[in-house]
């Protein structure tokens, strides 16, 4: 099939590339000319495991192209995917300006093209959009006079950054929201190569498809805030959340997945989608008390490492040198949107702390934000040189089993704040470190009442 993908970010680039890999003829469009230029040179503007090789192969074989020219991409396309951003507005609701701009531009282009045998074309909305957006886009296309020639389908994306190619190639399920069965059949054909192992292709109304995406993210964000809150209580009571996890996870109604305590969720999806669902509730008179709490808990959790440091150093952080391992919002990505590391960096810089940071992939993005204010270490050991404390913020695999003897030698102080519980407290303490995890039962006086000292 001939396909256009509009918006060549994390979702659009993975979607376009994987659809090309299954034999389709794909043109990816973006209005960011610098991004398209990088892609045309065979490089990637983002880090995503396994993606570069796929992009290069499909470009070489002529199934994948990149352009800033929407007209060129739409001319032949039977399916036009929309994968532009939907960031939060000031009141938390999703900003749909890019989705509408693309839909209107596509509608006008189609109006100017001769009618072709594969019409109606299908505008497939992959961006995460509030419930009712499909209907609003359909109404807008009707106003533009092209509702008969362009059908809107909803097809939320569930891929995870860091495993996006794998997730797209072998999805748990594909959800499509359509008004006509024929549209679902075109999409079923498109996705058939990815659903060989009996993974379900779920057809529903556009409203249910749009809602499904928000409910999925709301559930996952809730699990994270739940376990974080329990971990904080463990810290106060002297229980170890790792043991508690084991204690609850074997109950099959609960399970182990997505119940890892940490410094709060980040990324471009959970924070904004939780806010958007709260906004949808507000707009429809259905208060989202639980989602509000999930958001509040998460915002507080992003302060947890800083608060533990304040408590350990009794409010006197100025002049310390701190190493940070992990900056991306999660491992195997370079994405730092809403990352907990940024909250910690801001707080520590404000206290006059010298920071030595390291991340396998996200350094360039962090450097764009902080410039010379941080030291960008070549590797984890370079980061800990002369440091008073080490803070683990992102659990990259290479941080899990380091040479602690070398770290002890290189560091000035010997305190570890493990924001992901990747180390075993007893092992690390035996090696001469003071250890703080999340919910490991350290009886730190984690006070709301310790205020930073500026002396």
Give me the active site residues, please: 269
* CA dist 48 → 215, 224, 331, 339 (Å): 25, 23, 10, 17
Angle between helices 206-237 and 241-249 (to 10 degrees): 130
* 399 phi-psi bin (left φ>0, alpha ψ -120 to 50, beta other): alpha
Give the three-class secondary structure for 389: strand
d(CA 54, CA 14): 9
Nearest approach in angstroms of CB 97 to ligand NAD is 8
Measured from the CB atom, is 156 or 441 closer to ligand NAD?
156
d(CA 46, CA 55): 12
Block residue for tokens 């072998």: 170
Two tokens, residue 137? 């886009």
Measured from the CB atom, is 83 or 176 closer to ligand NAD?
83
Element (H, E) at 101: helix 97-111
d(CA 164, CA 330): 13
Measured from the CB atom, is 101 or 290 closer to ligand NAD?
101
Measured from the CB atom, is 75 or 300 closer to ligand NAD?
75
* CA dist 274 → 80, 220, 294 (Å): 27, 10, 8
Give the three-class secondary structure for 123: strand
What are 214's strand-pairing partners?
none
Nearest approach in angstroms of CB 275 to ligand NAD is 12
Measured from the CB atom, is 68 or 303 closer to ligand NAD?
68
Two tokens, residue 77? 């396309």
d(CA 448, CA 315): 11
Q: Which residue is nearest to ligand NAD (CB)?
A: 9
CB atoms near residue 177 (< 10 Å): 26
Two tokens, residue 304? 């947890």
- Give the residue among 36, 126, 109 at the shortest CA–CA distance from 70: 109
d(CA 264, CA 338): 10
Nearest approach in angstroms of CB 56 to ligand NAD is 19
Nearest approach in angstroms of CB 26 to ligand NAD is 15
Nearest approach in angstroms of CB 107 to ligand NAD is 13
What are 66's strand-pairing partners?
28
Measured from the CB atom, is 88 or 452 closer to ligand NAD?
88
Q: What is the 3-state secondary structure (H, E, C) of 274-286?
A: HHHHHHHHHHCCC
Nearest approach in angstroms of CB 300 to ligand NAD is 24
Q: CA 35, 38, 40 angle in degrees (round to 5)? A: 110
Element (H, E) at 366: helix 363-370
Measured from the CB atom, is 340 or 437 closer to ligand NAD?
340
Per CB under 6 A, residues contacting ligand NAD are 6-12, 29-32, 35, 83-86, 98, 101-102, 127-128, 157, 159, 161, 268-269
Nearest approach in angstroms of CB 46 to ligand NAD is 7
Measured from the CB atom, is 128 or 421 closer to ligand NAD?
128
């Amino acid at each position: 099939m001939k396909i256009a993908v509009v918006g060549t970010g994390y979702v659009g680039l993975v979607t376009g590339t994987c659809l090309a890999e299954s034999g389709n003829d794909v043109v990816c469009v973006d209005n960011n000319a610098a991004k398209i230029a990088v892609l045309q040179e065979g490089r990637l503007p983002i880090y995503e495991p396994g993606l570069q090789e796929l992009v290069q192969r499909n470009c070489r074989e002529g199934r994948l192209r990149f352009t800033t020219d929407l007209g060129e991409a739409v001319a032949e396309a039977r399916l036009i995917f929309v994968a532009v951003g939907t960031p939060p507005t000031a009141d938390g609701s999703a900003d749909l300006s890019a989705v509408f701009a693309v839909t209107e531009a596509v509608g006008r282009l189609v109006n100017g093209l001769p009618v072709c045998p594969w019409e109606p074309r299908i505008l497939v909305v992959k961006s995460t959009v509030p419930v009712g957006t499909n209907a609003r886009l359909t109404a807008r296309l009707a106003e533009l006079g092209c509702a008969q020639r362009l059908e809107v389908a909803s097809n939320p994306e569930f891929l995870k950054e860091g495993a996006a190619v794998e997730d797209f190639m072998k999805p748990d399920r594909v959800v499509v929201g359509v008004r006509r069965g024929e549209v679902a059949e075109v999409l079923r054909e498109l996705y058939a190569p990815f659903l060989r192992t009996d993974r379900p292709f779920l057809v529903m109304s556009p409203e249910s498809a749009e809602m499904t995406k928000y409910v999925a993210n709301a559930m996952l964000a809730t699990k994270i805030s739940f376990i974080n809150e329990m971990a904080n209580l463990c810290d106060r009571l002297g229980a170890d959340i790792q043991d508690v996890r084991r204690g609850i996870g074997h109950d099959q109604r609960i399970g182990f997945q997505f119940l890892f305590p940490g410094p709060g969720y980040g990324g471009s999806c959970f924070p904004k989608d939780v806010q958007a669902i709260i906004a949808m509730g507000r707009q429809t008179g259905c208060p989202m008390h639980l989602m509000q709490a999930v958001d509040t808990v998460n915002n507080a959790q992003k302060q947890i490492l800083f608060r533990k440091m304040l408590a350990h150093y009794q409010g006197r952080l100025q002049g310390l040198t701190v190493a940070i391992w992990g900056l991306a919002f999660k491992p195997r990505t370079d994405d730092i949107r809403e990352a907990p590391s940024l909250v910690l960096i801001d707080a520590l810089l404000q206290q006059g702390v010298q920071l030595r940071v390291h991340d396998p992939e996200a350094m360039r993005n962090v450097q764009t934000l902080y410039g010379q204010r941080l030291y960008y270490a070549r590797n984890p050991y370079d980061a800990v040189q002369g440091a008073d404390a080490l803070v683990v913020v992102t659990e990259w695999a290479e941080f899990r089993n380091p040479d602690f003897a070398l770290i002890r030698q290189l560091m000035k102080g010997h305190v570890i704040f493990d924001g992901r519980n990747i180390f075993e407290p007893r092992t690390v303490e035996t090696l001469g470190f003071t250890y703080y995890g999340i919910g490991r039962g350290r009886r730190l006086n984690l006070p709301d009442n310790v205020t930073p000292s500026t002396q």
